[in-house]
């Protein structure tokens, strides 16, 4: 689901425009969980914690889809609508999905059936039917360029405003993990208060750990040949749901800045001018100067070659990208070890 569509879906739910079926899939778990919570609030109200008469939860690893559909056909008790939630739809084989196609054609209007999946095969009849009926909603990972507008919208719903450079800083601080991003936004809300304005300085003060900081530290560890530190950092970034391709791209950008800093340092350029030429704030300059001084031109060239080879491997190899990235970081750090 494109980022701009998720607020529309939530607004429709809040005004009571609830579809009989929602098939929610994709890697952005935070947005999926928020949509499910909105449905629970609207349909169950004060009884949202109950899984009794009008709310049933299923795990499709343990029960057949036909059992879920049978529950969806049950009429509500002492209420206008009931809620049936089933997780793990990706576990169901193609033949097991066939009953869903029939249910999509004739859903029970007094039940809201919520089907959750990590991913779906859009070529299968059931998912084609769900898409045609408007019940299939994909929650793709937000792209970097979408994080800023997403943060601005979230701040606005809380009655706050956020400067554009503050939203960018917060996106860097939280990375792609929206759960962590929302926690950071809650911290900022407590700090600035309702109807407050969030500045970049406040973000940097309250949310110091950032993706940018992490990649600086990773590059520094690689440049100094500290393989153990580099492996720790890359493992931590992966644990925080940073995609391997994005880490590889950030490393490549950082390596370009390191090479540029090496050239400018050799020309004895003043620090302020060097920082501007590299494209970094002056207080971040040492993060590229340290590896620049440590690594020779030959070592930098080898690192570039490794990164370009990794880029091709990420896109063509069947080896797990996280394994490939970890191997790449170890090789880069080991090769940068002794001065060359």
**What pLDDT score was predicted for residue 337?**
62
Query: 42: which 2 tokens?
Result: 């609207």
**What pLDDT score was predicted for residue 68?**
96
Positions of the chain with pLDDT under 50: 3-4, 48-50, 339-340
**What pLDDT score was predicted for residue 71?**
94
C-alpha–C-alpha distance, residues 215 and 209, integer Å: 11
**What pLDDT score was predicted for residue 209?**
58
Cβ–Cβ under 8 Å, residues 127 and 120: yes
List, as one string, the DSSP characters of 162-186.
E-HHHHHHHHHHHTT-HHHHHHHHH
Cβ–Cβ under 8 Å, residues 165 and 192: no
Backbone angles phi, psi at 27, to 5 degrees: -85, -10
For the chain, the distance separating the N- and C-terminal CA atoms, rounded to the nearest angstrom, is 49
**What pLDDT score was predicted for residue 63?**
93
Reduce the DSSP state of residue 146 to 3 states and report it. Answer: helix
Could you give the angle at which helices 285-294 and 211-223 cross, rounded to 10 degrees? 20
C-alpha–C-alpha distance, residues 273 and 168, integer Å: 24
Cβ–Cβ under 8 Å, residues 184 and 211: no
**What pLDDT score was predicted for residue 128?**
95
> Looking at the chain, how many residues does it have?
340
Domains observed in the chain: 5-138 (3.40.50.300), 144-206 (1.10.8.60), 211-335 (1.20.272.10)
Query: 225: which 2 tokens?
Result: 């040949």
- Mind listing the pLDDT tens digit for each residue in 39-97? 999 998 865 444 567 899 999 989 999 999 999 999 988 888 999 999 999 999 999 99
**What pLDDT score was predicted for residue 151?**
92
Name the DSSP class of 108: -
C-alpha distances in Å from residue 192, one per residue of 149, 162, 264? 20, 11, 41
Cβ–Cβ under 8 Å, residues 56 and 29: no
Cβ–Cβ under 8 Å, residues 133 and 102: no
C-alpha–C-alpha distance, residues 111 and 54, integer Å: 9
C-alpha–C-alpha distance, residues 277 and 299, integer Å: 22
**What pLDDT score was predicted for residue 269?**
82
**What pLDDT score was predicted for residue 53?**
78
**What pLDDT score was predicted for residue 44?**
87
**What pLDDT score was predicted for residue 49?**
45
The pTM assigned to this predicted structure is 0.62
């Amino acid at each position: 689901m494109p980022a701009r569509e998720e607020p529309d879906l939530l607004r429709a739910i809040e005004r009571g425009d609830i579809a009989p079926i929602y098939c929610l899939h994709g890697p952005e778990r935070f947005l999926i969980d928020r949509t499910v919570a909105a449905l629970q609030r609207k349909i169950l109200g004060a009884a949202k914690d109950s899984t009794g008469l009008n709310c049933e939860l299923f795990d499709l690893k343990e029960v057949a889809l036909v059992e879920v559909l049978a529950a969806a056909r049950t009429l509500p008790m002492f209420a206008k609508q009931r809620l049936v939630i089933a997780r793990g739809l990706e576990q169901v084989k193609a033949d097991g999905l066939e009953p869903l196609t029939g249910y999509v054609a004739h859903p029970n209007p007094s039940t809201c059936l919520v089907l959750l999946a990590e991913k779906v095969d859009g070529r299968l009849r059931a998912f084609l039917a769900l898409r045609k009926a408007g019940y299939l909603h994909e929650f793709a990972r937000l792209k970097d360029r979408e994080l800023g507008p997403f943060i601005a919208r979230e701040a606005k719903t809380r009655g706050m405003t956020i400067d554009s450079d503050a939203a960018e800083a917060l996106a860097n601080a939280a990375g792609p993990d929206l759960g962590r991003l929302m926690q950071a936004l809650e911290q900022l809300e407590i700090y600035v208060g309702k109807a407050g304005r969030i500045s970049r300085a406040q973000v940097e003060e309250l949310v110091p750990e950032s993706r940018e900081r992490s990649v600086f530290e990773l590059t520094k560890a690689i440049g100094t040949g500290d393989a153990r530190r580099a492996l720790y950092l890359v493992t931590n970034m992966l644990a925080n749901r940073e995609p391997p391709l994005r880490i590889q791209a950030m490393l490549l950008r950082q390596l370009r800045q390191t090479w540029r800093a090496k050239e400018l340092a050799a020309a004895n350029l003043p620090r302020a001018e060097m920082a501007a030429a590299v494209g970094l704030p002056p207080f971040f300059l040492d993060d590229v100067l340290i590896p620049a001084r440590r690594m020779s031109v030959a070592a930098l060239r080898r690192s570039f070659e490794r990164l370009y080879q990794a880029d091709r491997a990420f896109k063509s190899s069947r080896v797990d990208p996280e394994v490939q990235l970890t191997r790449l970081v170890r090789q880069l750090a080991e090769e940068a070890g002794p001065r060359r």
